[in-house]
Amino acid sequence: MLQSLIDVILPVFLVIGAGYTATRFGYFRETHIDGLMSFTQNFAIPCLLFLAIANLDLGTSFDPRLLVSFYSAAGLCFVAGMIGARLIFGRAWEDSVAIGFCCLFSNSVLLGLPITERAYGVENLVGNFTIIAFHSPFCYCLGITVMEVLRNRGNGGVLMLKSVLSAMFKNALILGISLGFVVNLTGLAIPGVVDEALNLITRAALPGALFALGGVLVKYRPEGDLRTIIFVCCISLMLHPSLVWFFGSSLALPQDLFRSGVLTAAMAPGINSYIFANMYGHAKRVAASSVLIGTTASILTVWLWLTLLG
């Protein structure tokens, strides 16, 4: 089982390592990495999310118990990360929100899907797809709302609401997901040529984002933030799946959905953690290093959760 986890996670590290090495030795400059991150954040990943939602079978049964179990736990981890960053580590509120987002956003696609498929088979991925359908909208809505409220405190309720809505509808990821739901619910057909073009773009989304993350790590090292990074990893890798286990058991989730919920929650912080921090320019070093260190640590912690799940 441990070997299969390494087989899944190692390719991720190779891409991150390639970005780090290329930037560290000058083959890529900081401006190149920023441009690549901008491409993936504002264009390729939104296209990926658009296609995923547009082609999702919404007729598949969504068990509300799974959504309640997973997202109640995720919300509590966001609060724990934000309050902990503020009270324990004395970070500014804006930094604290970005750190809370790291605790909130697990790597449901890049790690969650392949690990669950390897462990339990493709027929047991219904729960994963249910979570993924709401993952980015829930996390970004929560993170952006709290961040904009804090950034605009003292400006009055109307101005604050306008700021939140403006930030939401200017976010390329939210727009991609929203348009995907529009196409799905209306039954609009994506022209074949457009669909093929979008598929070409989306193939660059995840590897491009991972490569850029490796380049980012050259300038954002864990020096001075190691305790905060360990705090984020503990919440992401241990507290989140523990809470989903508790809520799922209390709500008598079916076994396949229970496994999907716990395993998805047990994934390391996703690259969207850095994307969110980069959007606002806060806690970027913590976010980038939490993705790297959390993914490394997850080799052992995911093996632990798989052993407990049986």
Helix then strand then coil, in percent of the chain rounded to 5, is 80, 0, 20
5-51 tens-digit pLDDT? 676 677 877 888 899 999 999 999 889 998 998 898 889 988 988 88
Q: What is the pTM of this model?
A: 0.80
- Residue 247 has what pLDDT? 98
For residue 157, what pLDDT is reported? 55
Phi, psi for residue 261 in degrees, rounded to 5: -65, -45
As a whole number of angstroms, the distance between CA 141 and CA 101 comes to 11
* Domains with residue ranges and CATH for the chain: 2-309 (1.20.1530.20)
Please tell me the predicted confidence (pLDDT) of residue 145: 86
pLDDT at 176: 87
The Cα-based distances of 23 to 13, 55, 198 in angstroms read 15, 36, 28
Low-confidence ranges of the chain (pLDDT < 50): none
